Amino acid sequence: MFSFWAGVAVAPRLLLDQRDFVQRIKGPCTRFLIVGMTIIYNLTFTFTVPKRARFAVVIVSVLITFLALNFVCFKYLQALRRLAPGPEAA
């Protein structure tokens, strides 16, 4: 549950951040989210998985997507801490 809400809280900030040092994290994050959500929704709304296994497969794919998204969010937070100008730069 933490992984999901961490992704909900941090991913929009990452995607909307226009600073230069964030750009190298932003591209892979965008691709990762598009691929992850496409897989989740294709498994959910199409009949590619047998009905008996659909719930388990969707839960596992959501877990994998959001657990992996934690690493991207962590890299973003590290970049903010390391590279963002401090208050003395203003």
Predicted pLDDT of residue 61:
82
pLDDT tens, residue by residue, 40-54: 777 766 667 787 888
Q: At what angle do helices 2-16 and 23-45 cross, to 10 degrees?
A: 130
Q: Give burial (CB, 10 Å; 0-12/13-18/19+) of 14.
A: buried
- What does the block give as tokens for 65? 């997507």
- For residue 90, being part of any structural domain is answered with no
- For residue 14, being part of any structural domain is answered with yes
Tally of structural domains, the chain: 1
Which positions of the chain have pLDDT values less than 70? 44-47, 84-90
Q: Taken in order 12, 13, 14, 20, is the CA torsion positive or negative?
A: positive
- For residue 11, being part of any structural domain is answered with yes
- For residue 19, being part of any structural domain is answered with yes
- For residue 85, being part of any structural domain is answered with no
- For residue 88, being part of any structural domain is answered with no
Start-to-end CA span in the chain (Å): 38
Provide the residue range defining the domain that includes 34.
Answer: 2-79
- For residue 86, being part of any structural domain is answered with no
Q: What is the pTM of this model?
A: 0.66
